[in-house]
Structure 1
């Protein structure tokens, strides 16, 4: 029994420590990137009509990106004409389906006994949001780094909860920027 609990705890910890998805151009020299600006087409709300992806959320995303790049990476926000890299971001929302199955294999009644079979299937639809952050070398106009993270969208959150969630998501995405090149 103890081994089962240990395995379950490890599985839970592994699920909680998943890293964001990211990719980068191995030929890019990330040490040269000191300044950033917003790409002209950076817009969180452009291709989605989900009520949670709005101008308020866009302000939170921009603030979190500025904080991460400035405080943790020492980069400075500047105007696009002088930036080393341009930051683009976008979000998408997809619907997912959660299916649960519950079965019972025997039963008894007052007047009889016997084997029975009951199968109860429940489904729930929920929304999964994905935030993508692109980093483009301004001089070459080439994508040099992309990170993404997805998660279940929670409804009925306070503005403070939404802000914490965005900060956590952006920090998780940018954990691997700049990449540790070998």
Structure 2
């Protein structure tokens, strides 16, 4: 469990760059090779999942609830795989965490210089984790990472979240 927390922290803080609505988003995942996913048909939400609060409104449009959207997209993807939510006797527990680093600094190679310079490039990540409900052990995680796109419309923000969750869940074992 401690290793999973470290992994989530590393993924949340390590992110990449962009030029359009979704092309900066990178996806990664990992699975416990000993797990046979054939017997996993039900899931339950594990505790409260969290998206970092944006007190300055830089990356989350006013009135937009990113937590609710992410949960909606994950639910949709699981139901598309014919998995059902079962709060009493689930096969898997699911949670997610999202974080933003508005103070991220990166080395930038300037066109007119051979020396790199430093620039503020805000970064964000979303990590979805599944645990075996009986053992509590993590069995799969998927993550999306990308550049924060400041002052986006609600529609663009929804599109990015939908894209990220869909691409993460494409990596989920069939």
Bin of the TM-score, shorter chain as denominator length: 0.7 to 0.9
Asked if 1 retains the 8 angstrom alpha-carbon contact of 2:26 and 2:146, the reply is: no
Say if 2:136 is the partner of 1:141.
Answer: yes
Picking from 15, 25, 28, the partner of 2:35 is 28
C-alpha distance in 2, partners of 1:127/1:175?
26
Asked if 2 retains the 8 angstrom alpha-carbon contact of 1:37 and 1:85, the reply is: yes
Partner of 2:69 in structure 1? 60
Q: CA deviation at 1:84?
A: 1.0
Picking from 136, 154, 162, the partner of 1:159 is 154
Partner of 1:6 in structure 2? none
Partner of 1:89 in structure 2? 96
Q: 1:127 to 1:28 in 2, by over 3 A?
A: same
Asked if 1 retains the 8 angstrom alpha-carbon contact of 2:49 and 2:67, the reply is: no
Question: Which structure has the larger Rg over C-alpha atoms?
Answer: 1
What SS class does the counterpart of residue 92 from structure 1 fall into? Answer: strand
Asked if 1 retains the 8 angstrom alpha-carbon contact of 2:24 and 2:146, the reply is: no
Q: 1:169 to 1:50 in 2, by over 3 A?
A: farther
C-alpha distance in 1, partners of 2:155/2:161?
10
C-alpha distance in 1, partners of 2:158/2:85?
21
Partner of 1:126 in structure 2? 121
Partner of 1:78 in structure 2? 86
Q: Select the structure that is richer in strand.
A: 1
Q: Which has the higher contact order (CA 8 A, sep 6+)?
A: 2
**How many residues are matched?**
147
Partner of 1:109 in structure 2? none
The runs of 4+ residues in structure 1 deviating greater than 4 Å are 16-19, 48-51, 118-123
- TM-score, normalised by the number of residues in structure 1: 0.69
Asked if 2 retains the 8 angstrom alpha-carbon contact of 1:43 and 1:90, the reply is: yes
Q: 1:139 to 1:101 in 2, by over 3 A?
A: same
